[in-house]
Amino acid sequence: MCRARGFTILELLLALASGALLLSSVMPMLNMTIASATSSATSDQADLERQAAFAVDRIARVVRATAPVVLAPPPPPTGLIGLLTPNVTIDSTTTGTWLTPSTFQLSGTSLVETIQGDPAPHVLADSVTAVAFTQLPLTDGRQLVQVDLTLTNGNASTTVSSVMRMGWLQ
């Protein structure tokens, strides 16, 4: 008599049970790894958004406390005399002296504020990839300034744009 080849139902059940035990011990580690990667990306994004909000808020306070001035636009290019664009980018890396006593400038990838009389510069945001201060048309006789700030760190990125009125607190 020939014996049939294959697995018995008992052997199949034992293999299934041992496989389930093995998977039940590995799944929490896999879930933690996935959750950690997701929370890390979310954390980077939240950190960039906090830095951008802080930097723009600080710049807004200084702009609003600064005496309103009309910033002179650059001279028009030759051949386009009389055609001035209403939005003039003042400088893409620094505010120069028009926000005295504070100066904001891009130093490497850090947005830095320097205050007259304070020897140490203050870093407002890291991972800055772009910053621009733009003069907008006058409203109610007061100068408007638009600040655009972009921060990038790995896969996380945020851009903040804010318009503020110079001398609003005066």
Read off the pLDDT of each residue in 20-43 and give the average, rounded to a whole number: 79
Burial (0-12, 13-18, 19+ Cβ within 10 Å), 157? middle
Question: Which of 164, 88, 161 lies closest to 131 in space, CA to CA?
Answer: 161
pLDDT tens, position by position, 51-110: 899 989 988 888 888 766 555 554 444 333 322 233 444 444 445 555 656 778 888 888
Q: Is residue 120 part of a domain?
A: yes
User: In the predicted model, what is the mean pLDDT of the chain?
Assistant: 75
Q: For the chain, what is the domain count?
A: 1
- 127 secondary structure, DSSP code: S
Read off the pLDDT of each residue in 9-31 and give the average, rounded to a whole number: 88
Going by pLDDT thresholds of 50, 70 and 90, the confidence category of residue 121 is confident
pLDDT greater than 80 at residue 112: yes
Measured in Å, how far apart are the chain's first and last C-alpha atoms? Answer: 107
Read off the pLDDT of each residue in 6-19 and give the average, rounded to a whole number: 90
Q: Is residue 18 part of a domain?
A: no
Read off the pLDDT of each residue in 146-156 and give the average, rounded to a whole number: 88
> CB within 8 A of 156, min separation 6: which ones?
41, 44, 45, 47, 48
Q: Is residue 36 part of a domain?
A: no
Q: Is residue 3 part of a domain?
A: no
Predicted TM-score (pTM) of the model is 0.61
Residue numbers of the domain that contains 102: 51-165
pLDDT greater than 50 at residue 20: yes
Q: Is residue 28 part of a domain?
A: no
Question: Which of 122, 15, 145, 125 lies closest to 70 in space, CA to CA?
Answer: 145
Burial (0-12, 13-18, 19+ Cβ within 10 Å), 51? buried
Q: Is residue 105 part of a domain?
A: yes
Report the number of secondary-structure helices (H) and strands (E) in the chain.
Answer: 1, 7
pLDDT at 60: 86
> CB within 8 A of 163, min separation 6: which ones?
136, 144, 145, 146, 147
pLDDT at 78: 39
Q: Is residue 39 part of a domain?
A: no
Q: Is residue 35 part of a domain?
A: no
How far is Cα 34 from Cα 39, in angstroms, rounded to an integer? Answer: 9
Read off the pLDDT of each residue in 114-128 and give the average, rounded to a whole number: 84
